[in-house]
Amino acid sequence: MTPRQTARQQQDRETTRIGVRPRRLGLLVGGSGLIGGTIVHYFKKNVPDVELMAPNSKKLSLREPEDIRRYCDKYRPDFIINTAIAAINSDAQLAYEVNYLGAIHLAEIARERNIPFIHVSSAAVMPPGHDLDESRRLPLAARMSNYAKSKLMAELTLEHMGRHGGLDYTILRLAVVYGKHDHKIQGFHRLLFTIADRSMPVLLTSRGICHSYSHSKKLPPLIHYLLNNREEFSCQTYNFVDQKPVELAELILTIRSYLDLPTPRRIFVPYPVAKTGRIVIF
């Protein structure tokens, strides 16, 4: 047993003796990203009874199952949060190892230790449409992107582990994520930068096409609440998005207006013409 573990056990016994809730230790994987970093900041600032560890990939790699087991054996977390993802355009192998196998390895540890597992998934697993509830999900198919396929496989496996293996999990599906400190320039911020550096001459979309968005700052308080109310939220999936979707064309033009740029411009042409033009440009 390490000195850290011994000290933690002594602290827990002392706080229990005097009637104070024991300090919990959590493991968050993916802390360098926008979502993970926001969660770490929230818990550090607002939740004094929780210490949230967020090791980097050198200390804990989702692609190395033994890394996960060794780390959890050493620190014995009371819950696990998974926000890690491979890049959206990753090849099939990387998406499979990080988005799918990594999530399942973490879930196995959580199941063995009988601790909660909070998994951040994606709206990419859902079909297009309006007012979609959590039951709406695409069928697993080879034509799906590597990202969507790996995320969908993870959801299906976690649900199976919950039904047949006793896993205490909660899945949170996010749409296009926005918020502060997105150092990796993904999601909404990638859109902003493509407009700002004028690398988006055209974007193929249609009138009325809307997307849902997820504010990273609103997610940590929900996760905190989920962890404190497991009976209500165990083995559940939730879509976590802003109340109103936003039309993509209007969003782009609004950003353009604030940046005082001449492009991209609003031009409506028949789809076959637009598709041919896109091939010529790119």
Tell me the pLDDT tens digit for each residue of 130-180. Answer: 888 999 999 999 999 999 999 999 999 999 999 999 999 999 999 988 887
Residue 238 contacts residue 199 (beta carbons within 8 Å): no
Q: Domain tally for the chain?
A: 1
The predicted-structure confidence for 263-278, as pLDDT tens digits, reads as follows: 777 777 776 776 676 5
Looking at residue 262, what is its pLDDT?
A: 78
Distances (CA, A) of 265 to 198, 211, 254: 11, 20, 11
How far is it, in rounded angstroms, from Cα 5 to Cα 74? 8
Residue 242 contacts residue 213 (beta carbons within 8 Å): yes
Mean per-residue pLDDT of the chain: 85
Per-residue pLDDT band at 35 (split at 50, 70, 90): very high
Looking at residue 130, what is its pLDDT?
A: 87
Looking at residue 5, what is its pLDDT?
A: 44
Looking at residue 22, what is its pLDDT?
A: 63
Residue 210 contacts residue 242 (beta carbons within 8 Å): no
Of residues 194 and 80, which shows the higher confidence score?
80
Looking at residue 1, what is its pLDDT?
A: 45
What tokens were used for 243?
Answer: 């109340």
β-strands 246-247, 210-211 pairing:
antiparallel
**In 3-state terms, what secondary structure has residue 228?**
helix
Nearest residue to 24 via CA among 53, 54, 59, 50: 50
Looking at residue 270, what is its pLDDT?
A: 74
Looking at residue 255, what is its pLDDT?
A: 82
Residue 261 lies inside a defined structural domain of this protein: no
Looking at residue 187, what is its pLDDT?
A: 58
Residue 94 contacts residue 86 (beta carbons within 8 Å): yes
**In 3-state terms, what secondary structure has residue 219?**
helix
| DSSP 8-state assignment for residue 23 | P
Q: What percent of the chain has pLDDT over 70?
A: 81
Residue 52 lies inside a defined structural domain of this protein: yes
Residue 38 lies inside a defined structural domain of this protein: yes
Residue 266 lies inside a defined structural domain of this protein: no
Residue 171 contacts residue 155 (beta carbons within 8 Å): yes
How far is it, in rounded angstroms, from Cα 38 to Cα 180? 8
Looking at residue 58, what is its pLDDT?
A: 87
Looking at residue 150, what is its pLDDT?
A: 97
pLDDT value at 45 more than 70: yes
Residue 270 lies inside a defined structural domain of this protein: no
Residue 206 lies inside a defined structural domain of this protein: no
Looking at residue 57, what is its pLDDT?
A: 86
Residue 191 lies inside a defined structural domain of this protein: no
Domain that holds residue 227: 3-175+212-244
> Stretch 4-33: mean pLDDT, rounded?
65
Nearest residue to 46 via CA among 227, 251, 233: 227
Dmax over CA atoms of the chain, in Å, equals 74
Please report where in the chains the tokens 């959206």 appear, as a residue: 88
The amino acid at residue 49 is: D
Looking at residue 188, what is its pLDDT?
A: 61
The predicted-structure confidence for 105-122, as pLDDT tens digits, reads as follows: 999 999 999 999 999 999
User: The CATH number of the domain where 68 resides is what?
Assistant: 3.40.50.720
The predicted-structure confidence for 48-102, as pLDDT tens digits, reads as follows: 999 999 999 889 999 999 999 999 999 999 999 999 999 888 999 999 999 999 9
Per-residue pLDDT band at 16 (split at 50, 70, 90): very low
Residue 42 lies inside a defined structural domain of this protein: yes
Helix spans in 18-120 (H):
34-46, 65-75, 92-95, 103-113
What tokens were used for 255?
Answer: 């950003």
pLDDT value at 201 more than 70: no
Residue 185 makes CB contacts below 8 A (sequence gap 6+) with 193
